[in-house]
Amino acid sequence: MSTQPSPILRTILTALRRLYPEHLADKAWDNTGLLLSPPPLTLSSSTLRAPRILLTVDLTTAVATEAISLNAAMVVTYHPIIFRPLKSLTTDNTQQTTLLRLVQAGISVYSPHTAVDAVRGGVNDWLASGISGGEEYEASRTAIQPCASAQGTEHEGAGYGRLVTLKEPTDIRSIVERVKSFLGMSYLQVALAKRHTATPTERDIRTIGICAGSGGSVFRDVKADLLFTGEMSHHEALAAKESGTSIVACFHSNTERGYLPFMRQKLLETLPRAWEETVEEEGSDEMLDVEGWEVHISGVDRDPYDIV
């Protein structure tokens, strides 16, 4: 049996790695890349002519069922479902059951995670533009933790988190309302420094630290008027507040899920050329001609927390 990925899988991997290079991911702790690659199944001609990809933030039981119903070739899950080493694969564990079901259905799994955080135009830049109003309102935008692997490459400037300096200062109340509107949320978690509690409408916020997901470690040495992230620990938030920095948080994955439509569009633009390259490499006139690519966003993926 051939161990080579199928032409369709190779094409999807080419597109993903072109958009979100794996060398930008934080390999010190993150588990990015191709996580599951089952033996290729005999697919129907209609599936081969229009391969389907499902995007999600978390690969849950419900998302796996959705992928199987969709006859997806791959699930691209922002968070890696395999994070710590597995000592077994059994149906006694729900996440392992999900993996076994996907293997049985011939569906691959890929996680770009911190590569999406780091790359220019990724999730942190998307958040920065949503919070500031766009780069035209910013005096500067830099990575908080630059990627050493990006230096001297076309990805120069990539890194984890963003530090934005506004051209004109704003107030905490305006920032909160902008974040609510941008993310489509009715409620946020806010930890106000003393100065912002006393004068919430004073325009004294010029520097904003931004980090999708969990920003505590990224923000460790950041000096800013405001920190925005999905979540921070109790002690991290307390330390920031005591130092005069306010915090806006909105639960971990709510800072990430809204980026999926942008990822979808980028993939739809990148896949056709990646397929042409695969066909050229194969050098075969007998390869099935892919007529189009379908990239779907999960309709059942959501943050585990509800506000009641």
Element (H, E) at 219: none
d(CA 277, CA 241): 52
d(CA 212, CA 251): 10
- In 190-259, alpha helices (H): 194-198, 234-242
d(CA 112, CA 270): 16
Q: Is 113 annotated as a binding residue?
A: no
Residue-level length of the chain: 308
Contact 149, 23 (CB under 8 A): yes
Instruction: For residue 125, give both structure tokens.
Output: 């830049």
b/e map 155-175, b = 16+ CB within 10 Å: bebbbbbbbbbbeeebebeeb
Phi, psi of 294 (to 5 degrees): -110, 125
Residues whose CB falls within 8 Å of the CB of residue 188, separated by 6 or more in sequence, listed in order: 176, 179, 180, 248, 249, 250
Q: Is 117 annotated as a binding residue?
A: yes
- In the chain, alpha helices (H): 7-19, 45-49, 61-70, 94-105, 113-118, 123-132, 172-183, 194-198, 234-242, 260-282
d(CA 188, CA 192): 12
At 191, the amino acid letter reads A
d(CA 248, CA 109): 32
Q: Is 252 annotated as a binding residue?
A: yes
Q: Is 256 annotated as a binding residue?
A: yes
Show binding-site residues for a divalent metal cation.
79, 117, 252, 256
Show binding-site residues.
79, 117, 252, 256
